[in-house]
Chains A and B, each alone.
Chain A
Amino acid sequence: MATVVDESRTTTSADLGRSWSDARAVTNTLLTVGAWLVALLAAVPLVSVLYMLIVQGGARLGLELLTELPPAGFEHGGGFGNAILGTLVMVGVAALIGIPIGVLGAIYLAEIAPDGRLARTTRFLAKVLTGFPSILAGVFVYAILVLTMGTYSALAGGVALAVLMLPTIVLTAEEAIRMVPRKMKEAAVGMGCTRTQTIWQVMLPTALLAILTGIMLGIARVAGESAPLLFTALFSNYWLSSLAEPTASLSILIYNFSSMPFDNQIELAWAASLVLVLIVLVFNILSRLVGRPKV
């Protein structure tokens, strides 16, 4: 029969080296370099903001900031301890409201009636709420709490932040519960767990880390908010003494002081910005730490 053999199959040597002139290689190099540059570009805003904050705000960083009250017009020194406390308290109030509602809601969405009309509606609304303009949360709470209580308050601020935090927690916790392997649920049911026992003793513990990640992200999202607090907590130059009175927060302090004509206040606004970014950063890092899969 025909004994013609394809030559390429019999050659014992071929050039396997990289070619730089080949059109394919050129495209590859160009696109790789392009991707590099764009990635770099995306990092520029964050890095430059951080750089500016450290340079401008770092100078005033000190214990005084945490212990002193905001200074008046021509005063020197001062700090914003009350604003840090106010931010933490309001974020705390938001967490106290948002975490139970969010996690219980997520249990309903993921386990109890995942395909029901209520679940589908809630899920849709939660998704809409993630993109909700934060100022509207402030206006909403202004209408239901500030007007009825007759005063701006830390409580109203906390509720406004809870409204913003809720969708993040609901959606991430639902996802976390759904990610629990089916075999875990079957193990629990097979052992004779009721639905409540299955959820609380097996599914939630298994999903706990992922739920915590969602909570941390929710907190990080609201900790830096200013618009909702403008309508709800307003500001105060004094230490917080009750949840039912106007309360200082870092973000409003930055807003107020940055537009003042005094160098001292402007420096404090920079320092407050740095502190606020650090607080948000801490929650972001925490969310990554707890969510990291254990080896």
Chain B
Amino acid sequence: MSAAFAVKSTETRSSPPPAAQAARSDLAIDCKIDKLFYGDFLAVRDSHVPIEKGKIVGFIGPSGCGKSTVLRSLNRMNDLIPSFRFEGHVHFMGQDIYARNVDPVVVRRHIGMVFQQPNPFSMSIYDNVAFGLRLNRFKGNLDERVEHALRRAALWDEVKDKLKNNGLSLSGGQQQRLCIARAIATEPTVLLMDEPCSALDPIATRRVEELMLELKKDYTIAIVTHNMQQAQRVADVTAFFSVDISQGGRTGYLVEMGPTEQIFNDPREQLTKQYISGQFS
């Protein structure tokens, strides 16, 4: 493993011209991580994660395997960490989002994100959903778009009479659906979800999962989950990451990726089989 990774030629960011990359037009995002560092710490290596349009891709793996890090590198959320360094490419809409001339703020307006902890802003439910639209200086009918987003997030009926109430006054599950409404109000093409149900009870979890299956019609979704049943329930494609401690560090990498059915029933790698069957976590 270490040898393969040592000789691997790292593509520089600008080398592959966009035209040559358009080989697979069925991909929403083509993420190829050669090395991802936090300072000197190699957090993720050698992970090629193509994300197909209109599919739900589940990221599973043990704690510390870098699955959240990989997800966050898809909309440059890792830029918040000053020591973050990325080698590889993430192709989105025909461009490498790590190219020098790309503005991460614009990238994030196209790739929405839902976080582990529900994090509505301390403002009204309406303003939460309208937030992204106002950021983008949306000129159309704001009320209509807010209602549409709330309906898509299966929250409208519960909040339509109290749109002026603070978003934080909702229950945890409602808050998470509000965050989903906020994320889809601007109609991004991809939705990233970082363990969106880990702070929710089973009933709220079920509602969010139903919502994801519903949203799949219009969005490409990448979801990190700790819960393998959840991956089986919602993901079309599953990516299994593991952590390599052989070189002294704790470096995450992609073990295998394939249709969820195949990953869970007929994994190619021994490691995947062990993880799926609960032999380690």
Residues of A near any B CB (own CB < 8 A): 181, 183-194, 197, 201-202, 205-206
Q: Is the CB of A202 within 8 A of B115?
A: no
Chain A CB within 8 A of B102 CB: no
CA distance A185 to B79 in the complex (A): 13
Q: Is the CB of A183 within 8 A of B119?
A: yes
From known contacts A183-B119, A187-B115, infer whether A193 and B135 are also in contact, taking CB-CB under 8 Å: yes
CA distance A191 to B136 in the complex (A): 10
Q: Is the CB of A192 within 8 A of B135?
A: yes
Apart from A192-B109, A205-B122, 6 more pairs, CB < 8 Å: A183-B119, A189-B77, A191-B135, A192-B108, A193-B105, A194-B105
Within 146-164 of B, Cβ neighbours of A (below 8 Å) are at: none
When C-beta atoms are compared, the residue in chain A nearest to B76 turns out to be: A189
CA distance A190 to B132 in the complex (A): 10
Q: Is the CB of B119 within 8 A of A191?
A: no
Q: Name the residue in A188, A189, A190 with the highest tally of chain B Cβ atoms < 10 Å from its Cβ.
A: A190
Residues of B near any A CB (own CB < 8 A): 75, 77, 80, 105-106, 108-109, 112-113, 115, 117, 119-123, 131-132, 135-136, 179, 182-183, 186
Q: Is the CB of B117 within 8 A of A183?
A: yes
B77 contacts which of A186, A194, A202, A205 (Cβ < 8 Å)?
A186
CA distance A194 to B136 in the complex (A): 11
B84 to chain A, nearest CB (A): 13
Q: Is the CB of B115 within 8 A of A191?
A: no
Q: Which secondary structure characterizes the binding site on chain A? A: helix
From known contacts A192-B135, A194-B105, infer whether A184 and B121 are also in contact, taking CB-CB under 8 Å: yes
How many A-B residue pairs lie within 8 Å, measured between CB atoms?
A: 56
When C-beta atoms are compared, the residue in chain A nearest to B122 turns out to be: A206
B253 to chain A, nearest CB (A): 25
Question: Which B residues lie within 8 Å of A193 (CB)?
Answer: 105, 135
Q: Is the CB of B135 within 8 A of A189?
A: no
Q: Is the CB of B80 within 8 A of A183?
A: no
B107 to chain A, nearest CB (A): 8
CA distance A186 to B112 in the complex (A): 12
B113 to chain A, nearest CB (A): 4
CA distance A188 to B122 in the complex (A): 12
When C-beta atoms are compared, the residue in chain B nearest to A192 turns out to be: B109
Q: Is the CB of A183 within 8 A of B115?
A: yes
Question: Which B residues lie within 8 Å of A187 (CB)?
Answer: 115, 119-121, 179
When C-beta atoms are compared, the residue in chain A nearest to B188 turns out to be: A192
Question: Which A residues lie within 8 Å of B136 (CB)?
Answer: 192
Q: Is the CB of A190 within 8 A of B108?
A: yes
Q: Is the CB of A186 within 8 A of B122?
A: no
B73 to chain A, nearest CB (A): 13
A-B contacts, 29 listed (Cβ < 8 Å): A183-B119, A184-B119, A184-B121, A184-B122, A185-B80, A187-B115, A187-B119, A187-B120, A187-B121, A187-B179, A189-B108, A190-B77, A190-B113, A190-B183, A191-B108, A191-B109, A191-B131, A191-B135, A191-B182, A191-B183, A191-B186, A192-B105, A192-B106, A192-B108, A193-B105, A193-B135, A202-B121, A205-B121, A206-B121
Question: Which B residues lie within 8 Å of A201 (CB)?
Answer: 131
Question: Which B residues lie within 8 Å of A183 (CB)?
Answer: 115, 117, 119
